[in-house]
Structure 1
Amino acid sequence: MAQDRYFEDYGIGETRETSGRTITETDIVVHAGHTGDFFPHHMDAEFMKSTPFGQRIAHGTMTFAIGIGLTAAEINPKAFTYGYDRLRFPKPVFIGDTLRTQLTIAAVEPDPKRPGHGRVVESCRVINQRGETVLACDHILLVERRPAG
């Protein structure tokens, strides 16, 4: 759903949470095919039995794509992604885990290069069904300023 929000409409501390999505073996296989990443940690169940994880783990890039993709339910035509900073994967994601993303507005600041825009930084946490953070990053948005008048 499109929602026009100008830079001035964002407030530090605002939060939202997405719905959940359960990770399947198909997700991992398809992601490996798309990226060419057939690393045994993702694809070799027998090998992974001998590791501390005990089972295959999802690709970090897949966790990022799905976790951020869940946030696309709210679309703002006045904003676009400038990038992501401080991306970390503190816990593994396994087949059967259900992920959801929590977003908190962490900063609202002028954009030094674009006077008609401001920067909004969303602190993103992708969490599993146990409430553990499996991905953390900052999402930087460039957002149009409200027109004068």
Structure 2
Amino acid sequence: MTGVLMSRTDRWFEDFAVGEHFTSGPRAVTAEDLAAFTRLSGDDHPLHAGPDAMLQGPFGIAVAMGLMQSLDIHGDAVQGLLDTRWTYRAPIRVGDVLRLELTIVRTRRTRGGTRGVVTRLMRLVGDDGATRQEGTTAALVAARTDGPDDARRAFGTPGWARLVVADLDPAFAETLATWDGTIGLRCDDDEVHLRVYRGQVIDVSPRVPHGATFTVAADARTWLELVESADNPFMRLAMIGRFTVSGDGYEYLRLTSALHQLVDAARRAS
């Protein structure tokens, strides 16, 4: 979905939806930027000098944060930055024209209920379409109310899992008609367990006492890609390590068909 820009005082925790996408205007990189950031950081390594000089890596993070502010989607409700996980994909050089592509990939209310965590996927992209740097940042944002919140994309939570179970095709029960076990679904630090007995999901809970038979895990970015892709990309994402499995690997492989049906239900529910 495309974000509609609001005033700085309008966007509270509840106003962010997983899947919202924003793109900034252009930001040209100049020789003055290189000189100023070299003075500020003290990083005068030879890589940052000469006609083919690269800007220092942290320059990209700084520009991304500034471009995010230009989107005017974070205002008075933001209470702090919680983390930044960042990857350098390609050099930034003088003359590059950068844009920020930002997607909301996770929203999670804190236990106290008065605030929430909003995780943003941020890509710093050049005019050539290539990603220079990217990563996720999470901000603590004040909430307007104490909920309830939309669970359709609250991956890895019991509310989301109940929606998935409600959308399961009858073929799921047929596939697991003789199976007794627990399937875990994890997103970042949220994990939910589906207790299955003879094809029926008899319980949905954050944990079970002895753990799941196996757990399928990915970050919020991957879960969002899974539910928004035109086709079910689960096996492709698993093959390249975007989804990981812990627990009984034999049971995981044996239940591939049932997992596809579960993922299809997650895609419909989200």
Q: Same fold (TM over 0.5)?
A: yes
Q: Give unmatched runs, 5+ long, in structure 1.
A: 46-54
Identity %: 25
Distance change >3 Å, CA 137–CA 81, structure 1 → 2: farther
Letter in 2 for 1:86: R
Q: How many residues are matched?
A: 139
Letter in 1 for 2:132: V
Distance change >3 Å, CA 8–CA 88, structure 1 → 2: same
Q: Give unmatched runs, 5+ long, in structure 2.
A: 1-6, 147-270
User: Could you tell me whether the CA contact under 8 Å between 2:79 and 2:142 is conserved in 1?
Assistant: no
1:128 aligns with 2:134: no
Question: SS state of the match for residue 2, structure 1?
Answer: coil
State the match for 2:93 in structure 1: 94
Q: 1:59-78 deviations in whole A, cap 9, x for unaligned?
A: 11111111211111214211
Partners of 2:82 and 2:128 in 1: CA distance: 28
Letter in 2 for 1:92: P
Comparing both structures, which one devotes a greater share of its residues to helix? Answer: 2
Task: Report how far residue 13 of structure 1 moved.
Answer: 0.3
State the match for 1:41 in structure 2: 47
State the match for 2:13 in structure 1: 7
1:57 aligns with 2:63: no
Distance change >3 Å, CA 103–CA 80, structure 1 → 2: farther
Partners of 1:43 and 1:144 in 2: CA distance: 43
Partners of 2:32 and 2:84 in 1: CA distance: 29
State the match for 2:201 in structure 1: none
User: Could you tell me whether the CA contact under 8 Å between 1:81 and 1:139 is conserved in 2?
Assistant: no
What is the 5 A alignment of 1:76-95?
A: 76-95=75-94
Letter in 2 for 1:35: S
RMSD value, Cα: 1.8
1:111 aligns with 2:110: yes
Bigger Rg over Cα: 2
Q: 1:69-101 deviations in whole A, cap 9, x for unaligned?
A: 111121421113323332011111111000010
Runs of 4+ in 1 over 6 A off after TM superposition: none
Question: SS state of the match for residue 135, structure 1?
Answer: strand
Relative contact order, higher structure (CA 8 A, sep 6+): 1
Question: SS state of the match for residue 13, structure 1?
Answer: coil
Task: Report how far residue 115 of structure 1 moved.
Answer: 3.2
TM-score, normalization by structure 1 = 0.85
User: Could you tell me whether the CA contact under 8 Å between 1:119 and 1:141 is conserved in 2?
Assistant: yes
User: Could you tell me whether the CA contact under 8 Å between 1:125 and 1:133 is conserved in 2?
Assistant: yes
Q: 1:91-141 deviations in whole A, cap 9, x for unaligned?
A: 1111100001011000011224x5310101010001011111111111111
Letter in 2 for 1:64: I
